[in-house]
Amino acid sequence: MFDLLVTLIPALPLTAVLLNGLLGTRYSHEVAHRLGWGSVAVSFLCAIVVFADTLKTGVAQEVTVYTWIFGGDLTINLAFLIDPLTCIMLLVVTGVGFLIHLYSVGYMHGERGFTRFFTYMNLFMVSMLLLVMGNNYLVLFIGWEGVGLCSYLLIGYYYDRVSAAKAATKAFVVNRIGDAGFLLAIFLVFVNFNTLDYTQVFAQAGKLSTETATAIAICLLIGAIGKSAQIPLYTWLPDAMEGPTPVSALIHAATMVTAGVYMIVRNHVLYDMAPVAMTTVAWVGGLTALFAATIGLVQNDIKRVLAYSTVSQLGYMFLACGIGAYAAAIFHLMTHAFFKALLFLSAGSVIHALSGEQDIRKMGGLKAKIPWTHSLFLVGTLAIAGIFPLAGFWSKDEIMAHAFTHHYYALYAIAVLGAFLTSFYMFRLTYLTFYGQSRVDHHVAEHIHESPTVMIGPLVVLAVLSVIGGFPGVPPEEGWFHHFLRPATTGVGEEHSAGLGLVVALMSAATVIALMGWGLAHYLYSVRPEAAQRWAAGAPRAYQTLLNKYYVDEIYDLLVVKPTKRLGMLCDWFDRTVIDGMVLGVWRVTQSGSAFSTGFEKYVIYGLINIMGYANHLSARSWRKLQSGMVHHYAAMIVAGLFILVHLILVWWTGSSVIGLALR
């Protein structure tokens, strides 16, 4: 029974994918969306039962579906591991996923490709569920690639926008860089343990040397950085906002991007053995948290602000992992899923109301017109800013407190500064959107309307969760949540040194910080709106730098994209002068001895002219020019290959090249 329920959790959305994907054109949108959210709803119910069972028994259980790969000493099952960590992830993924599916019914109403949208969303759910449920690295990897593919398809959903297609490709390629790291980690694990099952790997982890553990952990971290948009691979996430808003909420805020955090927590046994990797994780997280927050300060697109805020909050989760506060990381992951989904979906409701407008400079004064959306967004803001006693307060405070009590003072300072900035930019966003004078275009203003119940309903649920979602984790480090997760996250050196006084002091400090951010935003955007412009004008360079996101995209362009093109040019030059010259040279030489000098001259001049010609022709697509279409060139290449091979052998035999031999 238990096995069946567990299997059903991913199987149900998969069935919906197959039905909608293959037969979707044959029935109405009504059927398609009911299949879409209905399957996720039933999955959610199954997940609750599975959760209750785990709560009762308190042990990790494995469910094997079938043997996937078998050969020699390698056996990999398509199997699921149900332990407390998986249970929490299951509830978050199916629960938030269900709400977002429901919301999409209203949001995507009347859009082209409605059925396609639900097919992709369900496919995403399947992949994400495989990711969190798998009992070995390879199943995790299937899910990992699957969510990447769905993210790609969904970012590019509005395919008539060029920017959407570009953003989709960027997201996919950047993610593939991370995935390459992850795949290497998998190979390293296999070589060292001869298995890929978590339980066996972690049981034998003790025999690993620190260096190997560090190598595996760093490779895993590269994967996590790509998927969870950390420095230096975070640039895809803000661009990913080209996708529909429910996609941003589900994939790029609540679930997929947190996969990296899940993966690190899942592998905490390996990380605990690799202090260097831990420190790296902590600093990557801390710096990302701060860096993304500063960019978030000045962005003008409502979804982009939220995107940078997501990057920043993911940074907090990494920071928590890096200092060994795994339960806190998962706790923040959960609360973040609630309030960030809430924020994105209510932002979607704002965008919906304003007929697609996303620029906050063209908003303002919306409080009266869309009161429900306003109050829901405000709840989300209060939660993310860390105002007592909302969900974000407990989880973020716990991370900061852990950093302080475990003597990571620099990271604590970064986290506190980040928290201040978070509070500031979120309230800035709220003020600019809902308060003050309306700057809405008057054509748009006529059509402002509150969203339908099917959209507001899920938002209310998420708002309630954002308010109460923190209580399972109270008191910090000793709450019900932590006790439940303990079997899955116990690491080394889990001591509880913080006294009650210190805890209260840190909590008060966090609250004060959050309130300061709120206060500053209130002053700048409500009390004295002109002051903000004055500040920006006062430091134009800093403002421009932030507005241009530290020019990171431009730097990548300069450091990676341009050199690649240069390489292409070099190859082109090589081809034109050397290859052409070689063929031409051979021809001249053999034609007649007396023509040699003429041939050589022509060859040199020919080459020179070509270089000059190519000075104009500075295009990237040049490597393929090797493929000249001339049979002679191809034959020459074969002979050249023959000589290269002979040469290689000679070099290996004698340790010197042909020229060296000739001189000898």
Partner 1 sequence: MTVIPLSAYVALSAVLFATGLIGVLIRRNFIIVLMAVEIMLNAANINLVAFSHYLESMTGQIVALFVIAIAGGEAAVGLAIIIVVFRGKISTNVDEINLLKW
Partner 2 sequence: MTLPLSDIQAVLPELIVVAAACLVLGLDPITPQSKKTWLAWLSLGSLVLCVPITISQMGTRVSAFSDLVVLDPYACFWKLLLYLVSGLTILLSLAYLKAERINLGEYYGFLLLSLSGMMIMVSAVDLLTIYLGTELMSLSLYVLAGFKRFEARSLEASAKYFVLGSFSSGILLYGISLLFGVAGSTRLSAIAAAVANRGLDDPALVLAMILLVVGFGFKIAVVPFHMWTPDVYEGAPTSVTAFMAVASKVASFGAFVRVFLEGLGGLKANWYGLFLVVCIATLVLGNVVAIVQTNIKRMLAYSSIAHAGYALIGIVVAGQADTEGAVRSAGLSSVMLYLAVYAFMTLGAFAVVAMLRKGGLEGEEIEDFTGLAKRQPIAAFLMLVFMVSLAGIPPTAGFIGKFYLFLAAVNAGLAWLAVIAVLFAAVSAYYYLRVVMVMYMRDLDISAGLAPRFASSPAMTVVLACAIAGVVILGLYPDPLVSLTTSAVLTLK
Beta-sheet pairing, 61-71 with 74-82: antiparallel
**Does 657 engage in binding with partner 2 (CB under 8 A)?**
no
Closest to partner 1 by CB, 110 vs 629, is 629
**Does 160 engage in binding with partner 2 (CB under 8 A)?**
yes
Phi-psi region of 356 (alpha: psi -120 to 50; beta: other; left: phi over 0): left
- Is the distance from CB of 424 to CB of 309 less than 8 angstroms? no
Q: How far apart are CA 469 and CA 463, in angstroms?
A: 9
Closest to partner 2 by CB, 160 vs 530, is 160
- Could you say which of 547, 586, 595, 651 contacts partner 1 (CB under 8 A)? 586
Q: Is the Cα torsion angle 610, 611, 612, 617 positive or negative in sign?
A: positive
Alpha-carbon torsion angle 32, 252, 549, 534, nearest 10:
80
Q: How far apart are CA 102 and CA 94, in angstroms?
A: 12
Closest to partner 1 by CB, 567 vs 635, is 635
Closest separation between CB of residue 632 and partner 1, Å? 6
- Could you say which of 407, 617, 632, 647 contacts partner 1 (CB under 8 A)? 632
- Could you say which of 52, 59, 159, 446 contacts partner 2 (CB under 8 A)? 159
Closest separation between CB of residue 109 and partner 2, Å? 20
Residues contacting residue 167 through CB under 8 Å, at least 6 positions apart: 155, 156, 236, 239, 240, 241, 242, 243
What is each CA distance from 65 to 62, 125, 199, 293, in whole angstroms?
Answer: 10, 18, 17, 43
Closest separation between CB of residue 628 and partner 1, Å? 6
Closest separation between CB of residue 267 and partner 2, Å? 19
Closest separation between CB of residue 593 and partner 1, Å? 15
Q: How far apart are CA 228 and CA 259, in angstroms?
A: 7
Closest to partner 1 by CB, 449 vs 632, is 632
User: Binding segment for partner 1 among 28-36, 459-467, 595-603, 630-638 (CB under 8 A)?
Assistant: 630-638
Q: How far apart are CA 347 and CA 85, in angstroms?
A: 30
Q: How far apart are CA 147 and CA 163, in angstroms?
A: 21
- Could you say which of 615, 624, 658, 661 contacts partner 1 (CB under 8 A)? 624
**Does 80 engage in binding with partner 2 (CB under 8 A)?**
no
User: Which does residue 625 bind out of partner 2, partner 1, none, counting CB within 5 to 8 angstroms by kind?
Assistant: partner 1
**Does 623 engage in binding with partner 2 (CB under 8 A)?**
yes
User: Binding segment for partner 2 among 202-210, 252-260, 278-286, 632-640 (CB under 8 A)?
Assistant: 632-640
Q: Which of 134, 294, 140 is nearest to 227 (CA)?
A: 140
Closest to partner 2 by CB, 445 vs 651, is 651
**Does 156 engage in binding with partner 2 (CB under 8 A)?**
yes
User: Which does residue 583 bind out of partner 2, partner 1, none, counting CB within 5 to 8 angstroms by kind?
Assistant: partner 1
**Does 583 engage in binding with partner 1 (CB under 8 A)?**
yes
Q: How far apart are CA 392 and CA 400, in angstroms?
A: 12
Closest to partner 2 by CB, 550 vs 634, is 634
Q: Is the Cα torsion angle 150, 308, 475, 327 positive or negative in sign?
A: positive
Longest pairwise C-alpha distance within the chain:
98
User: Binding segment for partner 2 among 169-177, 232-240, 351-359, 458-466 (CB under 8 A)?
Assistant: 169-177
User: Binding segment for partner 2 among 319-327, 439-447, 528-536, 645-653 (CB under 8 A)?
Assistant: 645-653
Which residues inside 634-653 make contact with partner 1, applying CB under 8 A? 635-636, 639
DSSP letter assigned to residue 197: B
**Does 627 engage in binding with partner 1 (CB under 8 A)?**
yes
- Could you say which of 55, 645, 658, 661 contacts partner 2 (CB under 8 A)? 645
- Could you say which of 176, 449, 483, 562 contacts partner 2 (CB under 8 A)? 176
* Side-chain-side CA neighbours of residue 351 (13 Å): 20
Helices (H), 112-209: 114-133, 137-155, 162-193, 198-204
Which residues inside 86-105 make contact with partner 1, applying CB under 8 A? none
Closest to partner 1 by CB, 122 vs 610, is 610
Q: Which of 491, 338, 458, 473 is nearest to 395 (CA)?
A: 473
- Is the distance from CB of 326 to CB of 268 less than 8 angstroms? yes
Q: How far apart are CA 593 and CA 588, in angstroms?
A: 8
Phi, psi of 432 (to 5 degrees): -65, -30
Closest separation between CB of residue 627 and partner 2, Å? 6
Phi-psi region of 355 (alpha: psi -120 to 50; beta: other; left: phi over 0): left
User: Binding segment for partner 2 among 359-367, 408-416, 546-554, 617-625 (CB under 8 A)?
Assistant: 617-625
Helices (H), 470-595: 480-489, 500-522, 529-538, 540-547, 552-556, 562-574, 580-591
Closest separation between CB of residue 567 and partner 1, Å? 18
**Does 165 engage in binding with partner 2 (CB under 8 A)?**
yes
Closest to partner 2 by CB, 166 vs 362, is 166
Q: Which residues of 369-400 are buried (b: 16+ CB within 10 A; e: fewer)?
A: bbebbbbbbbbbbbbbbbbeebbbbbbbbbbb
Closest to partner 2 by CB, 143 vs 458, is 143
Angle at 26 between CA 25 and CA 27, to 5 degrees: 100
Site string for partner 2, 361-380 (x = CB under 8 A): --------------------
User: Binding segment for partner 1 among 93-101, 158-166, 428-436, 580-588 (CB under 8 A)?
Assistant: 580-588
Q: Cα-atom radius of gyration of the chain, to the nearest Å?
A: 29
Which residues inside 96-155 make contact with partner 2, applying CB under 8 A? 116, 138, 141-142, 145-146, 149, 152-153
- Could you say which of 18, 53, 190, 300 contacts partner 2 (CB under 8 A)? 190
Q: Which of 533, 620, 610, 545 is nearest to 579 (CA)?
A: 610
Closest separation between CB of residue 119 and partner 2, Å? 10
What is the total count of residues that contact partner 2 (CB under 8 A)?
63
Q: The tokens 């260097």 sit on which residue? A: 276
Q: Residue 469: helix, strand or coil by DSSP? A: coil
Closest to partner 1 by CB, 526 vs 628, is 628
List of residues contacting partner 2 (CB under 8 A): 21-22, 25, 66-72, 74, 78, 116, 138, 141-142, 145-146, 149, 152-153, 156, 159-160, 164-165, 168-169, 172-173, 176-177, 179-180, 183-184, 187-188, 190-191, 620-621, 623-624, 626-627, 629, 631, 633-635, 637-638, 640-642, 644-646, 648-649, 652-653
List of residues contacting partner 1 (CB under 8 A): 583, 586-587, 590-591, 624-625, 627-632, 635-636, 639
